Structure 1
Amino acid sequence: MNRLRIPILGRESDQGGIWSIITGWVLARPVPLASLTVAGLVALTIPFFSMNLGFNAGADALPDALESKRALELLEDHFSSSLISPAKVIVDAADINAPEIQAALAALIETVGNNDAFLGPFDTITDRAGTVTRINVPLAGNIDDDESEDAVRLLREQIVPEAFAGLNVQTFVAGDTAEGIDFRDRMFSSAYYVFAFVLGLSFLLLLVMFRSIVIPINALVLNLLSVGAVYGVLVMVFQWGWGIGIPGSEETGIIETWLPLFLFGILFGLSMDYHMLLLNRIKEEYDKHDQNELAVATGIRLTAGQITSAAAVMVGVFAAFATSRILGLQQFGLGLAVAVFIDATVIRVILLPASMKLLGRWNWYLPGWLDWLPRVTPVDEAPQAIPAPGND
């Protein structure tokens, strides 16, 4: 059976295979390799700053083979997708049929009818109790474009408040476009808390685990470089249309609003998993021999097989999502596949050993005022089993 092993890659796991050779090469020239790698990741990150977030709504969100997509494309080409999902003005009052409220409704319909941002007809529906009215207001733009978002904001901030000023009513503006605006605003407002929580918790866990303030900072910087590069790749492929030959990829001009924050959490969890496994072996070797470079080389050699195998499985699984005809799944799958690939190769094999070689003993620096932190050490031997009591 050993004759079926792949040369170099099929060596015993404790020898590290090709990764051990690459690690030795990296440790021999850390400055140029780290500089080139960081420059490459930063270059991949630059497109992130032009990321256009939105929802793939209407025909864009559906596979080409569906009949419903062809019907939606006809509507969008000759009318507007917002005819299918217009903005909805909701009016809640004690008596919707009161003369002053009916006058306000008529004034509202007249105002939107005279504005090019809206299309008729403006259907009005009142519930049986006569307390709630819904006015459908089709938008001139498509569901997810800037023109429609501006129109919804105009309804919310100016047209509707002015029409019902001084009346004892509650008004709301809903619809797919309004929901997209609300979702994006809420996501942005909570993103800072998510980033702070993930980064802070990761820092604290690594600080306690390795009793060092340098190891956590280095790990967070490397992970942020990886995440930024993934964001940039998504923009280049799905927003700019580069690499559309990738199976399943399709230019959309936007990145799904939910994706960056969602990817950030998952990617940090996956990358920290690799880092914890690798850094733990490096720390064990450093504690044994007190030699930083030897510890780095040995740690990578001993974990190469596990990390590479796990990464290969995950890349394959996530790449399968990227071949989906659902655009959100395409972006999700490609993002995760690229992230795992970068983290398991570029970060683990080049940047991590190079940076730890350059930092030397500073890797394990802990200020004296933090010496109270608990010492988390692996258990060398399993506890012995207590023999069963014999029969008296």
Structure 2
Amino acid sequence: MLTRIARAAVGRPRLVVAVALLLMVLCGAIGATVHSHMKSGGFVTEDLESVQASLYLSEHFPGSEPNYVLAVTAEGGPDSPAARAAADAVVAKLDADPDVSGVQSYWTARPDLKQALRSEDGQRALILASIEGDDAELPDRAGKLSEELQVEDGPVTIKAGGLAAAFSDINTQISKDLILAEAIAIPITGLLLALVFGSVVAAALPVAIGLFAIAAALGILRVLTMVTDVSIFALNMTTALGLALAIDYSLFIVSRYREELAGGATPTAAVIRSIQTAGRTVVYSALVVALSLSALLVFPQYFFKSFAYAGIAVVAAATAAAVIVLPALLILVGDRINALDLRAPLRKLLRRPPPREKLPQQTFWYRLVTAVMKRPLPVALATTAFLLLLGSPFLGVQFGYPDDRSLPTDVASRSVGDILRTEFDADLASSATIVLPEFDGAPAELDAYARELSTVPEVPAVLSSEAVYSGGLRVAAGVPEMSDPQAGAYLSVGTRLDPYSDAGRAQLEALRAVPAPSDVLVTGPAALNQDSVTAITGKLPLAGALIAVATLILLFLFTGSVVLPVKALVLNMLSLAATFGAMVWIFQEGNLAGLLGFTATGTLNLAMPILMFALAFGASMDYEVFLLSRIREEWLAGPKTTEGNTEAVAMGVARTGRIFTAAALLMSVVFLGVATSGVSMMKLFGLGCALAVISDATVIRGLLAPALMRMMGRWNWWAPKPLVVLHNRFGLHENDDPTPAPAAAEPPRLDKASV
């Protein structure tokens, strides 16, 4: 199939390039407004208890869960005439908005709530409201309100915060970050490619394929928004994935094309051979990445599903561009692939002699791997211990739901969040709400329940339909009824704790443990976080098993061995464990927070490690497949002995080490572009994926993999008889290979050299 595709692209290259350009322009035009059609949530599903509670409140008690907070600061304090006039104007605008309910303010609140809406230093006061809408409508409506209501200068300033405003600011920040990430990644990758290839022409081809992938990603995301919910976080991640894979795949194919030309092949023969070998590797790699991403479909949250749909589509687009469009570009370029060598004027300027072509045995990689395989056991033990040490912080990981602290400190919703956490007796954005949907008892029962809840440590107050309680004491009376007795009841429970901390989780359990007069549902940040983490972790074993099984099957079909797929899986897990440990050390524990510009919250967003696992696992397998492809070629061409295996490993790494290291560097540049984001979740994702790719291409491929393959000797290529038959029938075999696939029917004998 790949041969037919290559011949078709070579036969009509101008038509292929013209169609590609048309598709690129079309996808770019379709995807230009994609960010405005994407959603900010997607971390929870409607079957969770906390979500059911929120839906109940929205239906029966509109406005009971404020998600929009305005912080009013005045030079003369909140009781000044200027502050009152500004607040009255804001409240009037909110009351007139049909999508806003439950408006409360310091200036209009009943006496028992008035103090809670004023800061401890008396300089600020709050206006609370609830904006209706789903994950797409909520940030859009909040953004429009904030543009109208916020005042940045003057004697009275007004800043918007709360969940709705934070979602709006995250959407805005991510859209800006995408432009910055691409502005950083594309020119840097182009420069690095020019240095790697020593040719502007050769470097331009992967960049062109990468631009096609970005346009395709935007168009695909826009189409997906028409048929399903798509997370705004997929915008940066999916475009970064498309760019990274397109450059990676193009690098592999262009490198093989130049190698074939250097061996005396004509441009046409070189293109076809490159697609048969490197192109085949690209297709297998793409299958691994796509199957890794498809495991995200087991999660019910649309946050994960949107990444699966978009990611698989973008991988397909990058692969198609690499095996269809790139051959057409190569045949048009022909022998000029090495034109415009940037290194020549640099060498002339520095008075350096022209480089001499090195044999594989003279390269750094050959010498390194040979040295490693002389002492395989110590290298394997030391490298494994080092990776496990890096991964050890992950044993103490804590997960938390994203909030305004994901944003930079100068963003309005983040500023309001910091004010609520530090200047008010109770953080109104972190309060728990206890819903009693079936309650139809006497008010005194609800009164007694609220009294008990108020005795839970670090609960400053509980608001019931009868009174306000603090420390088990009734501190305010005569409060108007808050609920219709026929529709149940609810209680607002204030807190002084971070809802995602250990203390916050313990407080939630203590609140649940208080005997209630009827069945209860609990919502609020702490409950929402606990419910979502439980729902997501319940699906992790299935997702992990699907990724593992798919990888083992594909690598078996690729190599004919049952040993190499298991080895690849174990090494990838080690690499990712080390990366996750580093992310806990950096982002959860706050090390390097000042340098990287984020606020540590003591937790990680659970969605990020899962996405990182799916993407980084696929990227790691990208290099594994590429490396094994060349090692297998050397093994097929050499003696089937322990010494032959050792030489095949050394030659395979020598021929590919420079290429996959360059590919890892280029891919890490793309992910580091994402890490420049002002949203800490995106920063974690970008930095984590970059570290995973770099460590895999250096520590794993340069040290641990050769050491293990040396110790296993001929066992690397072993498979039991039934699987040998299966591979001979369904496995990968090149049409022009003179030797059959090397799967040994019987286990090889152990000898001194293999140990």
Who is 1:64 aligned against? 409
CA displacement, residues 54-81 of structure 1 (integer Å, 9 cap, x when unaligned): 24535x3331212433332232123356
Amino acid at match of 1:317: V
Instruction: Decide whether the 8 Å contact of 2:450 with 2:462 is kept in 1.
Output: no
Amino acid at match of 2:673: A
> Using the alignment, how far apart are the partners of 2:726 and 2:598 within structure 1?
48
Comparing 43-52 with 234-243, greater Cα deviation is found at 234-243
Instruction: Decide whether the 8 Å contact of 1:31 with 1:354 is kept in 2.
Output: yes
Who is 2:607 aligned against? 258
Counterparts of residues 230-309 of structure 1 (less than 5 Å): 230-244=579-593, 246-248=595-597, 250-290=599-639, 291-309=644-662
Q: 1:45 aligns with which of 382, 391, 398?
A: 391
Instruction: Decide whether the 8 Å contact of 2:676 with 2:683 is kept in 1.
Output: yes
Instruction: Decide whether the 8 Å contact of 1:13 with 1:302 is kept in 2.
Output: no
Who is 1:217 aligned against? 566
Matched-pair identity in %: 30
Q: Structure 1 pair 83/183, CA: closer, same or farther in 2 (3 Å)?
A: same
Q: Structure 1 pair 129/19, CA: closer, same or farther in 2 (3 Å)?
A: farther
Instruction: Decide whether the 8 Å contact of 1:86 with 1:137 is kept in 2.
Output: yes
CA displacement, residues 249-277 of structure 1 (integer Å, 9 cap, x when unaligned): 55443222223333222221111121112
Who is 2:732 aligned against? 377
Counterparts of residues 167-246 of structure 1 (less than 5 Å): 171-244=520-593, 246=595
> Using the alignment, how far apart are the partners of 2:370 and 2:626 within structure 1?
20
Who is 1:354 aligned against? 707
1:4 aligns with 2:360: no
Could you tell me the TM-score, scaled by structure 2's length?
0.45
Q: Structure 1 residue runs of 4+, over 6 Å off?
A: 5-8, 10-14
> Using the alignment, how far apart are the partners of 1:43 and 1:304 within structure 2?
26
Structure 1: any 5+ residue segments left out of the alignment? 383-392
Q: Structure 1 pair 321/101, CA: closer, same or farther in 2 (3 Å)?
A: farther
> Using the alignment, how far apart are the partners of 2:442 and 2:655 within structure 1?
75
Comparing 268-277 with 71-80, greater Cα deviation is found at 71-80
CA displacement, residues 25-67 of structure 1 (integer Å, 9 cap, x when unaligned): 3334433333332222122122222223324535x33312124
CA displacement, residues 169-220 of structure 1 (integer Å, 9 cap, x when unaligned): x531111111101111122222222222222322232233222221122111
Q: 2:490 aligns with which of 120, 134, 137?
A: 134
> Using the alignment, how far apart are the partners of 2:530 and 2:550 within structure 1?
30
> Using the alignment, how far apart are the partners of 1:32 and 1:49 within structure 2?
26
Q: Structure 1 pair 248/318, CA: closer, same or farther in 2 (3 Å)?
A: farther
Instruction: Decide whether the 8 Å contact of 2:630 with 2:652 is kept in 1.
Output: yes
> Using the alignment, how far apart are the partners of 1:152 and 1:76 within structure 2?
18
Instruction: Decide whether the 8 Å contact of 1:244 with 1:251 is kept in 2.
Output: yes
Who is 1:78 aligned against? 423
> Shift of residue 351 of structure 1?
1.2
Instruction: Decide whether the 8 Å contact of 2:436 with 2:521 is kept in 1.
Output: yes
CA displacement, residues 94-136 of structure 1 (integer Å, 9 cap, x when unaligned): xx6x4x2544332322222333342325165867794243332
> Shift of residue 229 of structure 1?
0.8
Structure 2: any 5+ residue segments left out of the alignment? 1-339, 348-352, 466-480, 738-755
Who is 1:34 aligned against? 380
Comparing 142-151 with 360-369, greater Cα deviation is found at 142-151
> Using the alignment, how far apart are the partners of 1:221 and 1:231 within structure 2?
15
Who is 1:363 aligned against? 716
Instruction: Decide whether the 8 Å contact of 2:645 with 2:710 is kept in 1.
Output: yes
Counterparts of residues 102-141 of structure 1 (less than 5 Å): 102-122=443-463, 130-141=486-497
CA displacement, residues 357-389 of structure 1 (integer Å, 9 cap, x when unaligned): 22110101112343332332343459xxxxxxx
Amino acid at match of 2:383: T
Q: Structure 1 pair 194/81, CA: closer, same or farther in 2 (3 Å)?
A: farther
Could you tell me the TM-score, scaled by structure 1's length?
0.83
Amino acid at match of 1:226: S
Instruction: Decide whether the 8 Å contact of 1:88 with 1:137 is kept in 2.
Output: yes
- 3-state SS of paired residue (1:84): coil
Q: Structure 1 pair 110/11, CA: closer, same or farther in 2 (3 Å)?
A: farther
> Shift of residue 146 of structure 1?
2.3
> Using the alignment, how far apart are the partners of 1:226 and 1:11 within structure 2?
35
> Using the alignment, how far apart are the partners of 1:139 and 1:358 within structure 2?
58
Instruction: Decide whether the 8 Å contact of 2:425 with 2:460 is kept in 1.
Output: no
Instruction: Decide whether the 8 Å contact of 2:401 with 2:525 is kept in 1.
Output: no
CA displacement, residues 296-336 of structure 1 (integer Å, 9 cap, x when unaligned): 12222333344223211211121223233322122212111
Q: Structure 1 pair 19/249, CA: closer, same or farther in 2 (3 Å)?
A: farther
Who is 2:696 aligned against? 343
The root-mean-square deviation of aligned C-alpha atoms, in Å, is: 3.1
Instruction: Decide whether the 8 Å contact of 2:562 with 2:717 is kept in 1.
Output: yes
Amino acid at match of 1:141: L
Instruction: Decide whether the 8 Å contact of 1:88 with 1:135 is kept in 2.
Output: yes
Comparing 248-257 with 180-189, greater Cα deviation is found at 248-257
- 3-state SS of paired residue (1:53): coil
1:323 aligns with 2:676: yes
> Using the alignment, how far apart are the partners of 1:52 and 1:13 within structure 2?
50
> Using the alignment, how far apart are the partners of 2:403 and 2:408 within structure 1?
12
Comparing 245-254 with 216-225, greater Cα deviation is found at 245-254
> Using the alignment, how far apart are the partners of 1:250 and 1:76 within structure 2?
14
- 3-state SS of paired residue (1:333): helix
Amino acid at match of 1:310: A
> Using the alignment, how far apart are the partners of 1:217 and 1:43 within structure 2?
22
Comparing 103-112 with 236-245, greater Cα deviation is found at 236-245
> Shift of residue 246 of structure 1?
4.5
> Using the alignment, how far apart are the partners of 1:148 and 1:353 within structure 2?
47
Instruction: Decide whether the 8 Å contact of 1:292 with 1:357 is kept in 2.
Output: yes
Who is 1:389 aligned against? none
Amino acid at match of 2:713: G
Q: Structure 1 pair 115/244, CA: closer, same or farther in 2 (3 Å)?
A: closer
Instruction: Decide whether the 8 Å contact of 1:57 with 1:144 is kept in 2.
Output: no
> Using the alignment, how far apart are the partners of 1:73 and 1:149 within structure 2?
20
Amino acid at match of 2:437: D
CA displacement, residues 138-159 of structure 1 (integer Å, 9 cap, x when unaligned): 2231232222222222333x32
Comparing 286-295 with 21-30, greater Cα deviation is found at 21-30
Who is 2:229 aligned against? none
Instruction: Decide whether the 8 Å contact of 1:44 with 1:232 is kept in 2.
Output: yes
1:25 aligns with 2:371: yes
> Using the alignment, how far apart are the partners of 1:236 and 1:311 within structure 2?
23
Q: Structure 1 pair 91/245, CA: closer, same or farther in 2 (3 Å)?
A: closer
Amino acid at match of 1:237: I
Amino acid at match of 1:357: R
Who is 2:65 aligned against? none
